[in-house]
Structure 1
Amino acid sequence: MVDAVDDLTLSGNNEEGFSSLIATTVNPQGEGNSGNITINAPNVSILDGGQLFTGGFGSGNTGDLIIDAQSLTIDAGSISTFIAN
């Protein structure tokens, strides 16, 4: 859970190309569900490669993704969920 008093921004990549990311996953050999992501913030921005992701590559379901914000801005960022079982 992310409880932000101020705005939350996920933006850009580091020198190795990894995105600003909040994620939960189940690995390919894993069993069970991935965790939930809950974000409480006045304003949430996902920009320039930033990502929110919940996924399952093993057996099980993806977690819930809950955003409680007055505004949500997505500009060249992404929110996604994926299950591969």
Structure 2
Amino acid sequence: MTSFVAQEAIGNAGNINIETDNFSLTNGAQVNASVFGQGNGGNILIDVRDNIELTGSNIFSQVASGAVGDGGTITVNTTNLSLLDGSQITAGVFGTGNAGTVTINAADNITFQGIGSDGFASGILNNVAASGVGNAGNIDVTTANLNLVDGGTISSSVIGEGNGGQIKINASNAIVAFC
């Protein structure tokens, strides 16, 4: 599912709203509301009553290299969220602009586990890349249990120019992290 501003285009990407009982992305599938030209990325809202599982797949709203604009927000509401084998939820800046906020609400469990074949870790990334100029957005995670396993990560970073976002984690029961 994609909604984006194409390279050399001017405008705003549309929003993506998904509502279902269970949601799964595998083998490189993606939900993408990014900016490749000039404009703003769309917001992504995913409301899933039971389980979300991404395996080797991504959800992102980014400002691509050479693009100018702001990324949209990503909001995920579910009972259980699993990002496996390098799957990511990403709001990033590779061009010029600001990344959107990533908000995850999972009533029971969140598990970020494993590294993909491309070397990327499973998890939430909100970053300003080496080619980027702008600010990384905030990351807000609310759950009962947060598991970061075999490289799973939550990261807000700046490699280019700008400021990192704040990371807020509210895990009412437990946070478990191990390699």
Aligned length: 76
1:33 aligns with 2:112: no
1:48 aligns with 2:169: no
Distance in 2 (alpha carbons) for counterparts of 1:59 and 1:18: 22
Q: Which has the larger radius of gyration?
A: 2
Equivalent residue of 1:53, what SS?
strand
Distance in 2 (alpha carbons) for counterparts of 1:30 and 1:50: 24
Distance in 2 (alpha carbons) for counterparts of 1:48 and 1:27: 24
Distance in 2 (alpha carbons) for counterparts of 1:28 and 1:18: 16
TM (norm. structure 2) is 0.40
Structure ranking higher on relative contact order (CA contacts 8 Å, 6+ apart): 1
Give the superposed CA RMSD: 1.4
Q: How far apart are 1:15 and its partner, in Å?
A: 3.7
TM (norm. structure 1) is 0.79
Deviation >4 Å, runs of 4+: none
Q: Structure 1 residues 38-47 or 49-58, which shifts more?
A: 49-58
Distance in 2 (alpha carbons) for counterparts of 1:33 and 1:7: 29
Q: Structure 1 residues 14, 30: CA separation in 2 closer, same or farther (over 3 Å shift)? A: closer
Give structure 1 stretches of 5+ with no counterpart: 77-85
1:74 aligns with 2:177: yes
Give structure 2 stretches of 5+ with no counterpart: 1-102
